Amino acid sequence: MSTGKVLIVDDELEVRQILQEFLAHKGHEVYAAGSGPEALNALDTFKPDVVLLDVSMPEMDGVETLKRIVALQPTLPVIMVTANADVGITSKLLGLGAADYIPKPFDLEYLDQAVSIQVSAAQDR
């Protein structure tokens, strides 16, 4: 069973680098996108098993990007990464089709677990 292909989407280079390095070390195949439009392109080119999507990004934010991903690939699990994890925003994200959410600043081991859970759930479908 594959450990899965993870598409990371975050506008901050440092965050992309930390996540990319950590998740690659955990055995995932990883692609990092710096914006919503770049992430949408990567759906076709990289074909991720799971998406880690930052909520706060300039221009196309994570909410808009989530809506477009769900419209294009409704079964692809999207885990939102948000600095503002209050009940209002998280229930909105889940209502829009997010599979899960992770509060920022994130715990890397917890994040890897959340990714692995979504990859195996997707493989079971």
Residues within the interface to Mg ion (CB under 5 A) = 11, 54, 56-57
Write the CB contacts of 40 (distance below 8 Å, at least 6 apart in sequence): 65, 68, 69, 72
Quick one: 7 or 119, whose CB is closer to Mg ion?
Answer: 7
Grouping H, G, I as helix, E, B as strand and the rest as coil, residue 125 is coil
- Minimum Å gap between C-beta 1 and Mg ion is 32
Q: How far is the CB of 116 from Mg ion (least distance, A)?
A: 23
Nearer to Mg ion, 54 or 112 (CB): 54
How many Cβ atoms sit within 10 Å of the Cβ of residue 27? 12
Would you state the structure tokens that stand for residue 84, as one six-digit string?
A: 């503002």
Nearer to Mg ion, 74 or 105 (CB): 105
Name the minimum Å distance from CB 124 to Mg ion.
31
